[in-house]
Structure 1
Amino acid sequence: MNRADDAAVHFVVPDGIEDADRVSGGNVYDLRIAEALRAHGLDIRMRSVIPGGTHALSRALSHLPRDSVVLIDGLIALAAPDALDAHSSRLRIVVLAHMVASAMTGIGDAGGTIERERRALRAARHVIATSEWTRAELIARALAMPRRITVVHPGTDAAPVATGSVPVPHMLCVGAVAPHKGQDVLVHALAGMTDLPGWTCSIVGSLNADPAFAARTAAAIRSAGLEERVVLTGALTGERRTEMFLSADLVVAPSRTESYGMVAAEALARGIPVVAAHVGGLPEAINGSAAGVLVPADDPETLRAVLRQWAGDPDVRAALKARALVRTAGRTWGESAQIAAAVLIGARRGVDGAGYERRLAG
């Protein structure tokens, strides 16, 4: 083993992470934090593994030199706690927890989720959580010790101000079309707004995450007579994604469960107001912005009342947009990488990583 191998960080991520049809907040985070860590001077070596079993992860880990620092995406780690147990004394494992699986709506402790999650996280020397809400949930559920959890928020990029869609106000909902993202709640809310003229909505995200749910959502749009106003675009990336934000007047995040809410933070960074469910880490992503409106989760009637006021009153839209234009600088990916790098370097040195983000912020 040479010095280059000693210094490398092996980052185990889900297979297909760059597939345009599998765009997710977790995948975007993995790619952007890896890029930022490289810019920070770390040798990041990505290793793709198909989620869902012990064998693939165990095989990938078995090829790594002893004492290697390994950052493992939580989606991979949760599915294979046996592999983490088997290699925890040989490797310096850090788990990247995008979410708390046992807190996901509709999962609970199905199939022993909590115990698998606990075993996977306790095999790690440290856990990186992507929000304070995630950290708090991990602690409350006794899934990891507080001193071994460090929060590394997603970064935001400098972006042009969204010009919006004139004269028709346009809503945007971004995320894989799946129950936890709550697109059905949004469609239910919009179904009671057909009497209001001149609004449109794009629901942007993969239709393959839960095809049955996506089909039901499409059927609900047709049943409500919203085909001319509400469109399911599928996943968008690159210039098409940029154009999508530039034409948006409002971003709606109706999630039932959300660990952070990168889309909400990105919208505010672009000067776009946000209406979001008061759930998980979404309030954290909005971060007290006067351009963020929080509504109860899974409550289409309240969501409809807020959206009707926005869509039906130009003065309300103008006031909310003015608040959104008062943008404050969010944490950059470089600043997030500084905290993540401290955790990874600490794991290599065997240093307890308690409070990295707090020490660096100070």
Structure 2
Amino acid sequence: MTPCPAAFAIPGDIATLTGGYLYERRLLDGLRLIGHDMLHLELPASFPDPSAQDMAVALAALASVPADRPVILDGLVFGAIDPAGLVQIRAPLVAMVHHPLATETALTPGQRDHLFATERANLRLVRHVLVPSPHTRAILIDRYDVAPDRITIARPGVERPRLAPSPVSPPLILSVGILHPRKGHDILVEALGGLADLDWRAVIVGRAWDRAHAAALERQIAASPVAPRIRLAGQVTDDALERLYAQATVFALATRFEGHGLVFDEALVRGLPIVSCRTGAVPDTVPPQAGLLVPPADAPASGGALARVLTDATLRRRLAQGASRAGKDLPGWDHTAAVASRVLAEVRAAAT
């Protein structure tokens, strides 16, 4: 189909270092490379908890888009924007749902009910839904009653590593994810505390998305019996992260939930054994031959899995080979853009 004019509505700075923002930045660039005239709408950064003024600003920006230009609406906005305002938008809407906001951790029952009701109402106002994984698709079908033919999986792409593996000694355990309770870094730190008799060091890379949680992690690490061996690196440059991936022996993320998890793909293409949790989309993303998955929020289980990978050279080699094989089959971002391009063209054609 011929590329059509479209828009992508994203809250805040598109260069924000999270998996969701990386996905949307790559998708926006990919659609432009295909030939789409893409309008980038930068909406207020306060979503998914906007003020009344920011809500009005977002709705006004969406209302300015002409009726022949489909709009991809980021999930942080889509899950929280007022349905009464969204129904007034002329442009055909496509939701980009990484995972429903109501599935986030650390929500009060009231917050969860509000987000679920908002997302459910808004899902009835969009022409189509893009999701990154079969798991998110299943949630929308089973819990939100979205018709299967209105959902398309646009699997994230992956970039190939720029550096060859160069594992360091002692072995480096690398974890990458924003400092947010959902990522389970607190569970990983607790697990590492039980591995004092083994030789390793750990680096946790991630932006302080939740500052209170980041401060709590710093205190937890300081009180850990293995504190000198754990570094909370915060946000790092792309080059620094590339070096850490090259130096790592194992990738670990004790996540409580993932809608996909781009970092797992990054670990797979680098042939890193993975230790994570059997939750959300992780089992769909991390093949059994590439990693060990344990129950979420179970520090002893995470520690036991890490100990096995660190001490069993045969297992470590087998998982590394499995990761490499799986990584070779992962698509690039051009595939993600092509999938979204077809959806935009079909939505525009149906609306005109």
- C-alpha root-mean-square deviation of aligned residues, in Å? 1.9
Note if 1:77 corresponds to 2:72.
no
Give the aligned partner of residue 331 of structure 1: 331
CA positional deviation for 1:173: 0.7
Q: Secondary structure at the match of 1:47?
A: strand
Give the aligned partner of residue 342 of structure 1: 342
Partners in 1 of 2:313 and 2:330 — Cα distance? 28
Partners in 2 of 1:164 and 1:227 — Cα distance? 25
User: Does the 8 Å CA contact 2:4/2:344 hold for their aligned counterparts?
Assistant: no
Partners in 2 of 1:143 and 1:164 — Cα distance? 48
Q: Which moved more, 1:159-168 or 1:141-150?
A: 159-168
User: Does the 8 Å CA contact 1:165/1:249 hold for their aligned counterparts?
Assistant: yes
Q: Secondary structure at the match of 2:228?
A: coil
Cα offsets for 1:24-78 (capped at 9, x unmatched) = 1110000001111112221112110012242121110122223321111011112
**1:192-211 correspondence runs (5 A):** 192-196=194-198, 198-207=199-208, 209-211=209-211
Matched to 1:27, the amino acid is: Y
Partners in 1 of 2:108 and 2:135 — Cα distance? 17
Partners in 2 of 1:349 and 1:160 — Cα distance? 40
Partners in 1 of 2:166 and 2:145 — Cα distance? 43
**1:59-74 correspondence runs (5 A):** 59-74=60-75
Give the aligned partner of residue 3 of structure 1: none
Partners in 2 of 1:244 and 1:298 — Cα distance? 25
Note if 1:300 corresponds to 2:294.
no
Partners in 2 of 1:236 and 1:175 — Cα distance? 11
**1:1-362 correspondence runs (5 A):** 7-18=4-15, 22-50=16-44, 51=47, 52=50, 53-82=54-83, 83-87=85-89, 90-107=90-107, 109-111=109-111, 112-160=114-162, 162-196=164-198, 198-207=199-208, 209-286=209-286, 288=287, 290-326=289-325, 327-350=327-350
CA positional deviation for 1:109: 4.9
CA positional deviation for 1:194: 1.1
- How many residues align? The count is 339
Unaligned runs of 5+ in 2: none
Partners in 2 of 1:318 and 1:307 — Cα distance? 14
Q: Which moved more, 1:272-281 or 1:155-164?
A: 155-164
Q: 1:48 to 1:350 in 2, by over 3 A?
A: same
User: Does the 8 Å CA contact 1:162/1:272 hold for their aligned counterparts?
Assistant: no
Partners in 1 of 2:108 and 2:282 — Cα distance? 20
Q: Secondary structure at the match of 2:212?
A: helix
Partners in 2 of 1:350 and 1:303 — Cα distance? 49
Q: Secondary structure at the match of 1:86?
A: coil
CA positional deviation for 1:338: 1.2
CA positional deviation for 1:161: 6.4
Q: Secondary structure at the match of 2:345?
A: helix
Q: Which moved more, 1:126-135 or 1:328-337?
A: 328-337
User: Does the 8 Å CA contact 2:253/2:277 hold for their aligned counterparts?
Assistant: yes
Partners in 1 of 2:41 and 2:150 — Cα distance? 24
Q: Secondary structure at the match of 1:225?
A: coil
CA positional deviation for 1:200: 0.6
Partners in 2 of 1:162 and 1:178 — Cα distance? 30
| TM-score, with structure 2 as normaliser | 0.91
Cα offsets for 1:182-216 (capped at 9, x unmatched) = 000101100111122x2011000012x11111111
Cα offsets for 1:104-146 (capped at 9, x unmatched) = 2233753311111112221111111111100100111125222
Matched to 1:305, the amino acid is: G
User: Does the 8 Å CA contact 1:81/1:119 hold for their aligned counterparts?
Assistant: no
| TM-score, with structure 1 as normaliser | 0.88
Partners in 2 of 1:108 and 1:335 — Cα distance? 38
Q: 1:147 to 1:233 in 2, by over 3 A?
A: same
Partners in 1 of 2:314 and 2:203 — Cα distance? 23
Matched to 1:13, the amino acid is: I
Matched to 2:345, the amino acid is: I
